[in-house]
Structure 1
């Protein structure tokens, strides 16, 4: 039976470089993004690089203890360690060579992939490294805190709320082939022309006749494009119908990703904006003013949606690295993916138009950069 997928985030630090040093590492479940193991240690007098390598080794060992057959996506904000362990940079420093060699022996090479991430997206490992150094300063060793229930935070912290928006006009050649998301909003349903709220808490409508026609046109466009290598869809009926139409044309299967479902609009489901404004004016004003506000009777805000979509994005990136993936979803998740790629604030969601069956595209590079290549293209529907 195939092993599980883990995400290892590791970091190390030295107060003085060299100076008192420590490392931290977390292991996340690759499907849920939840932290399932932590490791940290004060290592005495050392450099930042030594501490970072020791953090990597500890994270890999923690993953191996849980499942030695797991596929592991290592994410670190140390460009040096990522590039050296990926084999793109030579390891010249004598202190680094034995540590890199040790890291390579923890798991088979084919099971581990390395990705650079910005420092702000590595806060859990950084926190643990600092806890270890604080413990060392007090003459102690780091000890894990009492385990918490394995549930996502109600309002996620910044690392899951933003993606690195640093891509320039083009990616450097040594970053390799980017992973491309071709984002397709589902075709029309009976609710779409009337601009009614239609989320994951309503009746899960099917495509209308026009929506099915739109899905066929999208399938033709993707067949002509000739680059789609996988199809991933929200679990909702309208997205599955759209995805299945395209996938059948391309000879591909559809993989369902729960994190791509639409926002739950609660009591607003099936209502127009004007009707919500009339019936729930205070809640609507709050929702438009803050990403943390929820629709009346709804279960999640745009902040929690961003967390969910961010986890789904990372799962797809880990599974289809370097490939072009058709991602079939809804207005809110697609706009959120674009917003995160741009590093834009939450209210940017209200400044994007996304038509039924429209195409958008985002490319993700191995150094953590993202680039929006297309937004709301409806040319295939004309």
Structure 2
């Protein structure tokens, strides 16, 4: 008597892109046999004007539908370099954008929920789908439809022939380091990628602990701005009002940031949003201590913390690795929510340094090699191809 047929497992790799975000957009998807790695089906389409995230969801939907046509009873592993899509489809992030919510619902309905799992991969490992998306956009630019028989995506991926369609893959980040990393090519030298999303990064004004250089994170007391800090907040508010570019304000939940953000938002006529991911590191038992006091009381823990991003402060605080994952998740959600806009993020030393480090693709030890003054401004621009460009660091001209 023959046994039951073994359940097939497919790997779906999907991607989408927009040349302008929003702009001319397309998606690509490939279905592979999980056991052999054989390509079973390719799909790609030019979808007109859309955002990156919508194109990524369209690619996911096309990949799942192609897998379902091959075997409706299969198990599916979806692998994408879109942290947003992976986290939303895994149920860990809410889907707030009205254009993405119906696409996500369609994708979730293709297979039973327990048949599909999601995994984030770096862009370098998603080349096949990326090149299919670029082929579709190239065809759309010529007024043609993408044809599977004419595709070279699999061949180009196998031979690692480089980027197609003007997209330059970013370097692969370390396994514990949430991307994106440094741009593979200087943004100014590449194709026109449209209006970037710009995060203006404002460190809060001084508190009573700031001039004493004490650890002040999210695990101890929640100090308010000092008189100096309030003057700094007013000064930066005037400077940003004069620039006139900020379209939204988002703050850490901690009091010093909320007070700084309120001063700026009131001057700009905007409201203040709050994002838990922008809070400062929890420094555990070091909260309220100076560096010298930590050195005296916890020398071994301090040495470990300075040597490794995985080490936590004494007493169960957060490691820099944990902070980086939290900040990167907040970054990705804010990018999806504010595509093409200039957003002021009012936050702390570690989150700002982390955003800068990730934009540059710098190692964790670079956190100790940046200076960030109270009420200083920095800025990072994020482009449609996933690359980032540091525009400003520790500007305090408005305080002079």
Asked if Structure 1 and Structure 2 have the same fold, meaning a TM-score greater than 0.5 normalized by the shorter chain, the answer is yes
Query: 1:173: how far off?
Result: 4.8
Q: Is contact 2:171-2:184 (8 Å) kept?
A: no
- Pair 59,80 (structure 1): closer, same or farther in 2 beyond 3 Å: farther
Query: 1:29: how far off?
Result: 8.9
Instruction: State yes or no: 1:62 paired with 2:107.
Output: yes
Report how many aligned residue pairs link the two structures: 294
TM-score, structure 1 as length reference: 0.68
Secondary structure of the structure 1 residue equivalent to 2:373: coil
Instruction: State yes or no: 1:21 paired with 2:39.
Output: yes
Match of 1:194 in 2: 212
Query: 1:118: how far off?
Result: 4.2
Query: 1:33: how far off?
Result: 3.5
Instruction: State yes or no: 1:207 paired with 2:260.
Output: no
- Pair 61,289 (structure 1): closer, same or farther in 2 beyond 3 Å: same
Query: 1:20: how far off?
Result: 2.1
Unaligned residue ranges in structure 1 (runs of 5+): 1-7, 38-57, 67-74, 98-114, 122-155
- Pair 188,159 (structure 1): closer, same or farther in 2 beyond 3 Å: closer
Q: Is contact 1:361-1:372 (8 Å) kept?
A: yes
For the aligned residues, what is the CA RMSD?
A: 3.3
Match of 2:87 in 1: 33
Query: 1:300: how far off?
Result: 1.7
Match of 2:286 among 253, 268, 275: 268
TM-score, structure 2 as length reference: 0.65
Instruction: State yes or no: 1:346 paired with 2:399.
Output: no
> 1: CA distance between counterparts of 2:304 and 2:343?
36
Report runs of 4+ in structure 1 exceeding 2 Å deviation. Answer: 8-15, 22-35, 58-66, 75-97, 115-121, 156-159, 161-167, 171-174
**Worse-superposed segment, 336-345 or 295-304:** 295-304
Query: 1:344: how far off?
Result: 0.3
Match of 2:160 in 1: none
Q: Is contact 1:180-1:363 (8 Å) kept?
A: yes
Q: Is contact 1:166-1:370 (8 Å) kept?
A: no
Match of 2:253 in 1: 235
Instruction: State yes or no: 1:222 paired with 2:240.
Output: yes
Instruction: State yes or no: 1:95 paired with 2:148.
Output: yes
Q: Is contact 2:14-2:30 (8 Å) kept?
A: no
Deviations 1:269-300 (CA, angstroms, capped at 9, x unpaired): 00000000000000000000000000001332
Match of 1:303 in 2: 321
Q: Is contact 1:9-1:59 (8 Å) kept?
A: no
> 1: CA distance between counterparts of 2:175 and 2:88?
13
1:131-280 aligned at under 5 Å gives the runs 157-158=175-176, 160-168=178-186, 170=188, 172-280=190-298
1:76-87 aligned at under 5 Å gives the runs 77=127, 78-83=129-134
Match of 2:340 in 1: 322
Q: Is contact 2:253-2:274 (8 Å) kept?
A: yes
Unaligned residue ranges in structure 2 (runs of 5+): 1-12, 16-28, 41-62, 64-76, 92-102, 112-122, 151-166
